[in-house]
Structure 1
Amino acid sequence: MTISSDVSAPLVVVVGATGVQGGSVIRNLIESDKPYRLRGLTRDASQPAAQKIKDLGVEVVTVNIVVGNEAEVRDAFKGGDIIFSMTKFKEHLDTEREVAEGKLMVDAAKAVGAKLFIFSGLPPVSKLSGGKYTRVARFDGKAEVAEYARSQLPAVDVQAGYYMTNLQSTLNFTSPKKQDDGTYLWHILGDSGSTLPYIDMDADYGLFVRFAIESPEYSKGGGTIYSYGERVTTPQAAASLEKLRGITIKLVTVSPDEHRANLEKSELPHIVKNILGDLTYMAEYGYYFGLELGEEQQRVRSQLARKPRTFEEFLRANPDFLAA
């Protein structure tokens, strides 16, 4: 549908509109049969991605969401009925800054009278593991922002699943790495039978945000939604890659101690080593600690506007991804 200009249509303000998550939210709301006014926030309105969403009818606003810039953030949020927000921990690797900027957005949303605040969060790993796994700053910081949001106004924490595109990340020790002979080596942390909630973030994350907005239960009462397309084990993902890409993958199981030792031997900055050190929690507890398997979450999935992509559907839609 065409984005509405009718002032009676809800105004959805999208933080990070030119990025993966914000862009997915915008595209999925445009696909809705319900009318929305859309305002996309970006730090650089001159970039091609900003012009692209402007051509779709999105109002593009330039704003830098940092502590000290509260007045401009409130202006950017002004009139917004629904605020979608996210933080960019990877840009600065500073948990204190991430939490401060997240809370700044919550406060701005409350100040302008927003009816719903949606945040892209992650599980509170330190808390859910009983303090066993604490070197997970990116997870715990986002969880703190979500908890604060819930204390201030109706808020939905739409947690981001495991990006399928993580498998091409050079910083990801558990992604397949091409060897000199053309084969791939893929390290598995812990149990090879443990699953990860894979998601094509670009295509499907906005599906879950759209549900949060259009569901009376979540839009009025808030809550948590665990986004994913398909739960996949590493051997299953490897088999799909071998079938669709014609490559050979060798799987090697790595213990938590070996993982930490490999990190320490790497040339990554200390803060990155600290952040990645306890990602082995996923093998023991699961990425979402099994919370995505509950009856309520299955109801959410059954009521999405369409089915999210499986891993194989993602590979077929992106033929250059890990191409041989």
Structure 2
Amino acid sequence: MAKIITVFGATGQQGGSVINTILQDDILSKEFKIRGISRDISKPQSQALASQGVELVSADMNSKESLLKAIEGSHSVFLVTTPAWGVEGSDAELVHGKNVADVSKETGVKHLIFSSLLNVTNETSGRLKHVPHFDHKAQVEQYIRSIDVPATFVLPGYFMSNYTQLGMLRKGDDDVYTLAYPVGKDAQFPLIDIASDMGKYVAAALKNRSAVLGAQFFAAADYYTPARILAEFEEITGKKTRFVQVDSETYKTFIPGPMGQEMLENHLFIESPGYFKGESLKESHDLLEKASYRPTTWKTFLEQNKYSL
């Protein structure tokens, strides 16, 4: 009988990637029955998953009773929490993560795979203290460890889709694409094609459960500098680019409200001490290779998305 894996954020980029990868994997698709958690199971994306045999369940992450019904009977759980973007002082993401951890513990989940990140405040000794979408995930990871839920932690890098979907590469009137950052051209960005590759890391962890319990994996294809990002962009698309380093105050004007400060400090963290503090990606890539997966490079991502630019 197939084991149940419950996937939070089923219609989002990360949960969707996990579901698609499992469905397409000859081994995991037979080993696991997928239960997808979504806030709205009536929307077209949810119904599309249901047509592929995914059980869709709605859950309130503020309610342990609701989560109990969603998680009960699960062998494995993939958890991604959603930041309360722009809501200053919100601890919703922290509450949601702890609630899922508690219910996973209560129901005897054998493998919780959490999409985590580093604690920026701690790693910078308080120099940068306004990046809650990192800090809260790190605190959830710490909590999961403290209550001894069998778990693996996959830390996704900087999304390649930021450049195509969020307009970080902006086409000017002169047809030149500009990348403006509050960091230098040699800062190291660990890039990941999140919609394609997050599921690969989770699938690899599922295939090697006993070896990865308690481990952290840094999910990215490679470290890319802005200079390399633009050089490869020009090579694949044939478009001209320029890099502009802006001061912190100017950068904050790009994004209004508390989110501007958060994004500024997020990028300053990437420059120093580093998104993953300069840790090697080799162990993560070895995990993928063992499970017969390969990360998507920035060049490959551009080839697949260049016509949407």
Q: Secondary structure at the match of 1:252?
A: strand
Amino acid at match of 1:247: K
Distance of aligned partners of 1:207 and 1:267 in 2 relative to their CA distance in 1, 3 Å threshold: closer
Once the 2 structures are TM-superposed, how far is the Cα of residue 126 of structure 1 from its aligned partner? 1.7
* Equivalent residue for 2:274, pick from 265, 286, 293: 286
Distance of aligned partners of 1:307 and 1:290 in 2 relative to their CA distance in 1, 3 Å threshold: same
1:306 correspondence with 2:293: yes
Distance across 2 between alignment mates of 1:18 and 1:155? 23
Once the 2 structures are TM-superposed, how far is the Cα of residue 216 of structure 1 from its aligned partner? 3.4
Equivalence for 1:3: none
Distance across 2 between alignment mates of 1:191 and 1:210? 35
- Alpha-carbon RMSD: 2.0
1:73 correspondence with 2:67: yes
Q: Secondary structure at the match of 2:220?
A: coil
Distance across 2 between alignment mates of 1:265 and 1:319? 28
Distance across 1 between alignment mates of 2:47 and 2:303? 28
Distance of aligned partners of 1:92 and 1:184 in 2 relative to their CA distance in 1, 3 Å threshold: closer
Equivalence for 2:197: 204
Equivalence for 1:190: 183
The aligned runs of 1:28-43 (5 Å cut-off) are: 28-32=21-25, 33-34=27-28, 35-43=31-39
Give yes or no for contact 1:42–1:64 (8 Å, CA) kept in 2: no
Give yes or no for contact 2:285–2:294 (8 Å, CA) kept in 1: no
1:131 correspondence with 2:126: yes
Equivalence for 1:250: 242
TM-score by length of 1: 0.87
Distance across 2 between alignment mates of 1:123 and 1:292? 15
Q: Which runs of 5+ in 2 are unaligned?
A: none
Amino acid at match of 1:116: H
Give yes or no for contact 1:163–1:201 (8 Å, CA) kept in 2: yes
Once the 2 structures are TM-superposed, how far is the Cα of residue 267 of structure 1 from its aligned partner? 6.1
Q: Secondary structure at the match of 2:307?
A: coil
Distance across 1 between alignment mates of 2:18 and 2:82? 16
* CA deviations over 1:23-64 (Å, ceiling 9, x no partner): 100111123213211100111111111111111111111222
Distance of aligned partners of 1:130 and 1:216 in 2 relative to their CA distance in 1, 3 Å threshold: same
Distance of aligned partners of 1:206 and 1:266 in 2 relative to their CA distance in 1, 3 Å threshold: closer
Equivalence for 1:318: 305
Which range moved further: 145-154 or 243-252? 243-252
TM-score by length of 2: 0.91
* CA deviations over 1:134-165 (Å, ceiling 9, x no partner): 22111111100111011121111111111101
Q: Which runs of 5+ in 1 are unaligned?
A: 1-5
Runs of 4+ aligned residues of structure 1 deviating over 6 Å after TM superposition are: none
1:156 correspondence with 2:152: yes
Distance of aligned partners of 1:17 and 1:265 in 2 relative to their CA distance in 1, 3 Å threshold: closer
Give yes or no for contact 1:315–1:321 (8 Å, CA) kept in 2: no
Amino acid at match of 1:28: T
* Equivalent residue for 1:24, pick from 17, 20, 38: 17
Give yes or no for contact 1:135–1:277 (8 Å, CA) kept in 2: no
Sequence identity percentage: 28
Give yes or no for contact 1:230–1:309 (8 Å, CA) kept in 2: no
Distance of aligned partners of 1:18 and 1:130 in 2 relative to their CA distance in 1, 3 Å threshold: same
Give yes or no for contact 1:190–1:284 (8 Å, CA) kept in 2: no
Distance across 2 between alignment mates of 1:162 and 1:237? 12
Q: Secondary structure at the match of 2:77?
A: strand
